[in-house]
Structure 1
Amino acid sequence: MTEQVDVLVVGGGINGTGIARDAVGRGLSVWLCEQDDLASHTSSASTKLIHGGLRYLEQFEFALVGKALAEREILLRVAPHIIWPLRFVLPHQSHLRPAWMIRLGLFLYDHLQRGRRSLPGSRRVRLSRHAVGQPLRDEFPIGFVYSDAWVQDARLVVLNAMDAVQRGARVMTHTRCVSARRSGERWLARLQSSNGQVTEVAARALVNATGPWAVDFLDEVAAEGHDHGLRLVKGSHIVVPRLYDHRYAYIFQQPDRRIVFAIPYEREFTLIGTTDVEYRGDPAHPRIDTQETAYLCDAVNRYFKRGIVPADVVWSYSGVRPLLDDDSGKASEVTRDYLLELEQARGAPLLNVFGGKLTTFRKLAEEAVDRLAPLLGNREPAWTGKGHPLPGGDIQDPGRLAEQLRATRPWLGEAMAWRLAHTYGSQSVRVLGDAASLTGLGEHFGADLYASEVDYLRRYEWAGSAEDVLWRRTKLGLHIGGEGAARLAAYFAKAAGAD
């Protein structure tokens, strides 16, 4: 039997899930397939920022920065449990950029956004008189402080998928689109799951949101011609034990005019990144190399009193950014804007998504459905920018929620209540269930991970393995030792057998 659907989205990263959510919310029937886990590649390998992109001002991408700053405000409202404000410190080095240039850039950054701005503006600080100056070397007398936001990137993807399903979409992970061809006014697609099961789908429209595989999908799956190339750029990050005690982040200028961030991470660590390296390998398996690790260590050592070496790295991750090939000389100068290409001359429409960045995914999705929906007879207005919260985001303050969780469940530790509130928001109550003690949460795998949370992730968030839980739905892999991870893997194996 061939399933009938309005829109088939191929790709379970941030763009694919964002488009699926927007489309189903306008009344279209939507299926989404992803060959691996949700957010298992580029979308979980970001610097985890919702930001305008201060450095893009030097490349005169004012429209992109303004668009991203507007999106920052929307996302802070719809997902306050996984996105929250973060203040950044930029120590000044006069030989890299003069102070007037930085002041001008920050002035533009504060004012490019139209309408309401909830975050405080930028200001100049004397580092010797401020706590943010304590970790820095004495050669930096002044700095600048500005606002952006932090995000749990993989969770942002999952929450978009959850909201899409709650509105009627179907999301299939570990399911590859192995072929797609036009047949009159429909696309006939064959979807194959990891267990070999094949489903045939007839879709009125096809969306190619496969990220680094966008060109390969056109060449090998859909057999469609195209005029756009992708430039694959590898970005790598390292995680080291916490380098300072406060909650500010740092943005460091480098001699090659790139910037590197140092960000508080998982309470006990500091996240450092990113690199920009041309990449020609398999997008599914990028790895940091020794040169990248050394580059990031050197970047930190130029600024902090406390130096780091590669042996300090407790974890690293890399992702491949599928950027539009705009003939830029350096990888760091390639535009982070996106292109939506709609092809309908030969029958059923095909929408290709090229490029993009995490911050602007919602706008990308809105523009994609604005173009696609009328071709399917749907003229429902855009809706995702009107403050509809993502699952768990129907709260105002996750810190207050954490206090409420502890008030009703005194047996919850402060750190665990904080993590649940900043991971699941109002869904924390569902994660905890009717447990009356820690023992009531089931098997304990280490840190503050219990079976009740794992079961929630399996049931509602497509978690199918220990890796999905430890490194995408959460970052508890940094806190749970090998023995706990092994027991979690065994728990999943037993659950799969029962299923």
Structure 2
Amino acid sequence: MSNQTTITESVDVVVVGGGINGVGIAADAAGRGLSVLLCEQGDLAGATSSRSSKLIHGGLRYLEHYEFKLVRDALAEREILLTKAPHIMWPLRFRLPHQKHLRPAWMIRIGLFLYDNLAKREMLPGSRRVQTDSSSPLNASISTCFEYSDGWVDDARLVVLNALQAQHLGATILTHTRCTTAQKQGDHWLVTLQQANGDTVTVRTKAIVNAAGPWAAQFINDVVQSPKKKSMRLVKGSHIIVNRMYDSGEAYILQNKDGRIVFAIPYEDDFTLVGTTDEDYQGDPAEVSISEAEIAYILTIANDYFKRPLSREDVVHHYSGVRPLLDEGNASAQELSRDYQIKISGGKGDAIMLNVFGGKITTYRKLAEQAVDELCDTLKISAKAWTKTAPLPGGDFSDKETYAVHLHAKYPFLTPTLVRRYVRSYGTLCERFLYGSSSLNDLGTHFGAGLYQAEVDYLVHSEWAGDSEAILWRRSKLGLRLSAEQVHGLDEYLVSQRASICPTQYAVGH
């Protein structure tokens, strides 16, 4: 059992929360010269940020609620992000099957015209109307689709790459570390952090950023002990994963009679991701789970559209996340805005508090930029925004195909499957664990599905991966492919290595 120790240090900013907004703010602030410490009570992307629909999109359906600014900002960010991280993001073509009894064709055409033109579009083709034929995976009764473009993202890896960038710029990233108290002392806060082993760290900081996502209101009430300044609604969204439903590469956006939208998205080569639901949620966000009613709901919508029938037995995996959305009174869960609000207080001799409410993964960079702009103004620091054109770690290559050829030429023993996965998960970062290898044997123990010891060691030492769940479901999606016996083998290896592991020993910038 560890003895309790207290280490006091001083930083400009303490960020609470290791989801996409927290790591985005940490990276932006560190890049402007602020000293930053980020604490996360669990694993990076351990909650909402790894349980999204994994889309970089403007949100076509938000146009129906007249959220033109949100859609415009998200569409502009879509282009920026596709350029910043070509390894973990890529364009995706969507088809919206037309059902005459739902949204009329004229409404869809107007919506797609706005979607094409609300923001500058350089990378993606515009929308069009297409006629289906016998090769379509859709039911024969559907003869017309409207096609448009958006983007796909590995959401959990987006979080980790931002954390790596923040660390490279000097930020301290502490996972499995809970902020237990925050006390105002004039122009600064005294923050107590408790690590998983019981050790505590006391930090003096000029500003706290509350990016705790679903726990943001609880943080204000219980840790800061201040009246809640903004009302939030927690909304559960659930997804199912099934074996690949069709061979073509496009995604589908399915309209339901209740007005909701469900996506069917090609996923990890051999699967299809289908979701999401929208339900108000009460309780601990850490305990969220899908209900059988949600599974039945998603399956029913999919079966209304696709030729291949799905049953409960076809579900190979599922997940649920809690979205922290702005409360809008009597609005239904699906009608709530996905926009965000940033509230800052303090300055002029008073400790600074910045609260982040709401948001969506597509606009995380813009949210972070705005938050750090406000922090710098309040702290009287002159520092320019910089994240718009800076690539994320591993994204310093022109295109996937060219880099894949380079990687295979450099490491010819890699199989095409490994090359493809390394390129789209790590980009150039994969060469950190491939360096010096001349055969698969050099990569060490094979745990299954192309997961080798070299990659596992890299993830533990450099990407804060503390257990098999973090490795198999967030740093990769290989949990879909490993057997229970193989997972047990990985667990045993991690336990055997734990005593000698310092999670940030070989991390970027250290």
TM tier relative to shorter chain: over 0.9
Q: Alpha-carbon deviation of 1:373?
A: 1.0
Q: Deviations over 1:50-101 (max 9, x none)?
A: 0000000000000000000000011011100000000001110011011011
Mapped partners of 2:18, 2:401: distance in 1: 30
Q: Alpha-carbon deviation of 1:310?
A: 1.1
Q: Deviations over 1:272-302 (max 9, x none)?
A: 0000011102101211001000000001000
Q: Deviations over 1:107-157 (max 9, x none)?
A: 00000013x52100000001127x5xx211011111111000000000000
Q: Deviations over 1:205-262 (max 9, x none)?
A: 0100000011100110001123311100000000001100111100000010111000
Q: Deviations over 1:182-222 (max 9, x none)?
A: 10110100000000110000000010000001110011000
Equivalent in the alignment of 2:504: none
Equivalent in the alignment of 2:374: 371
Q: How many residues align?
A: 494
The one of 372, 381, 384 aligned to 1:381: 384
Equivalent in the alignment of 2:236: 234
Is the CA contact (8 Å cut-off) linking 1:29 and 1:169 kept in structure 2?
yes
Moved more, 471-480 or 222-231: 222-231
Give the TM-score of the pair, scaled to structure 2.
Answer: 0.95
Partner SS for 1:342? strand
Mapped partners of 2:281, 2:409: distance in 1: 50
The one of 35, 42, 51 aligned to 1:45: 51
Mapped partners of 2:35, 2:238: distance in 1: 37
Partner SS for 1:353? strand
Mapped partners of 1:474, 1:146: distance in 2: 28
Mapped partners of 1:226, 1:243: distance in 2: 45
The reply to whether residue 87 of structure 1 matches residue 93 of structure 2 is: yes
Letter in structure 1 aligned against 2:46: S
Mapped partners of 1:180, 1:26: distance in 2: 25
Equivalent in the alignment of 1:58: 64
Mapped partners of 1:221, 1:408: distance in 2: 51
Equivalent in the alignment of 1:123: 128
Mapped partners of 2:152, 2:203: distance in 1: 38
Equivalent in the alignment of 1:274: 276
Letter in structure 2 aligned against 1:251: I
Mapped partners of 2:431, 2:60: distance in 1: 38
Mapped partners of 1:36, 1:110: distance in 2: 39
Mapped partners of 2:203, 2:144: distance in 1: 60
Q: Alpha-carbon deviation of 1:434?
A: 1.2
Equivalent in the alignment of 1:486: 488
Partner SS for 1:28? coil
Letter in structure 2 aligned against 1:450: Y
Equivalent in the alignment of 1:34: 40
Equivalent in the alignment of 2:17: 11
Mapped partners of 2:117, 2:256: distance in 1: 26
Q: Deviations over 1:322-360 (max 9, x none)?
A: 001011431000000001011117811100000000000
Equivalent in the alignment of 1:451: 453
Is the CA contact (8 Å cut-off) linking 1:399 and 1:418 kept in structure 2?
no
Q: Alpha-carbon deviation of 1:498?
A: 2.5
Give the TM-score of the pair, scaled to structure 1.
Answer: 0.98
Q: Alpha-carbon deviation of 1:400?
A: 2.1
Equivalent in the alignment of 1:77: 83
Is the CA contact (8 Å cut-off) linking 1:10 and 1:34 kept in structure 2?
yes
The one of 291, 300, 303 aligned to 1:301: 303
Partner SS for 2:112? helix
Summarize the Cα distance change of 1:253–1:398 in structure 2 as closer, same or farther, 3 Å threshold: same
Summarize the Cα distance change of 1:186–1:424 in structure 2 as closer, same or farther, 3 Å threshold: same
The reply to whether residue 104 of structure 1 matches residue 106 of structure 2 is: no
Identity level (%): 56
Is the CA contact (8 Å cut-off) linking 1:340 and 1:368 kept in structure 2?
yes
Is the CA contact (8 Å cut-off) linking 1:214 and 1:354 kept in structure 2?
yes
Q: Alpha-carbon deviation of 1:403?
A: 2.1
Letter in structure 2 aligned against 1:259: I
The one of 255, 264, 271 aligned to 1:262: 264
Mapped partners of 2:316, 2:139: distance in 1: 24
The one of 212, 215, 226 aligned to 2:214: 212
Equivalent in the alignment of 2:148: 146
Partner SS for 1:390? coil
Equivalent in the alignment of 1:435: 437
Mapped partners of 2:279, 2:123: distance in 1: 35
Is the CA contact (8 Å cut-off) linking 1:179 and 1:222 kept in structure 2?
yes
Letter in structure 1 aligned against 2:326: L
What stretches of structure 2 of length at least 5 have no aligned partner? 1-6, 502-510
Equivalent in the alignment of 2:336: 334
Is the CA contact (8 Å cut-off) linking 1:328 and 1:334 kept in structure 2?
no
Letter in structure 2 aligned against 1:493: V
Is the CA contact (8 Å cut-off) linking 1:186 and 1:204 kept in structure 2?
yes
Mapped partners of 1:444, 1:38: distance in 2: 25
Mapped partners of 2:65, 2:352: distance in 1: 34
The one of 174, 181, 184 aligned to 1:182: 184
Mapped partners of 1:382, 1:412: distance in 2: 40
Mapped partners of 1:299, 1:416: distance in 2: 35
Structure 1 consecutive aligned stretches of length 4 or more whose deviation exceeds 3 Å:
none
Mapped partners of 1:78, 1:337: distance in 2: 22
What stretches of structure 1 of length at least 5 have no aligned partner? none
Mapped partners of 1:277, 1:320: distance in 2: 9
Q: Alpha-carbon deviation of 1:377?
A: 2.6
The reply to whether residue 362 of structure 1 matches residue 368 of structure 2 is: no
Mapped partners of 2:373, 2:214: distance in 1: 24
Is the CA contact (8 Å cut-off) linking 1:294 and 1:310 kept in structure 2?
yes
Mapped partners of 1:228, 1:380: distance in 2: 29
Partner SS for 1:314? strand
Letter in structure 1 aligned against 2:73: K
